Amino acid sequence: MMRLSRPLPARRRESTIALINVVFLMLIFFLVAGTLTPPLDPQVELISTTAAEHAEPPDALFITREGQLRAGGKATDAQSHVTALRAKHKGTGALEVKLAADRALPASRLIEIVAALRKAGADKISIVTERATE
């Protein structure tokens, strides 16, 4: 009597569908979890610095080279901007205003705007710059 070996079962091919699903879910997760920032005002060229922390300017108050204040693409003034920020943040804690000034703006005009923001009730004022390429 001759013994024949049993045929080996055929190997199942690994499906790439599972891998595609995982990659797709990761893509969706990072799209949802990532922070979306509004685009910079196209009429403002930011001041350049060589040593600056990287941070996006959400709710920034832009100042054009002519000294016009713009928030969300619309013209505004210091008092209106501070009032809108207070309403948005519901008066919680110190109010910080982020200024993104055009590099051609005269320093004297920048000082006037900072004084107007202080007078309007801004507790902290930060100047947003862009990192210069070396």
Query: Which H or E element spans position 19?
Result: helix 17-33
On whether the pTM is more than 0.75, the answer is no
- Report the C-alpha gap between 81 and 69 in whole angstroms: 9
How much is the average pLDDT of 51-66?
71
- All structural domains of the chain with their residue ranges: 48-131
Backbone angles phi, psi at 83, to 5 degrees: -60, -45
Mind listing the pLDDT tens digit for each residue in 5-54?
787 777 777 778 888 888 889 888 887 777 666 666 677 776 666 665 65
* CATH of region 48-131, choose from 3.30.420.270, 1.10.10.10, 3.30.1490.190, 3.40.640.10: 3.30.420.270
Edge-to-edge strands of the sheet including 61-63?
74-76, 69-71, 61-63, 96-101, 124-127
How much is the average pLDDT of 107-115?
89
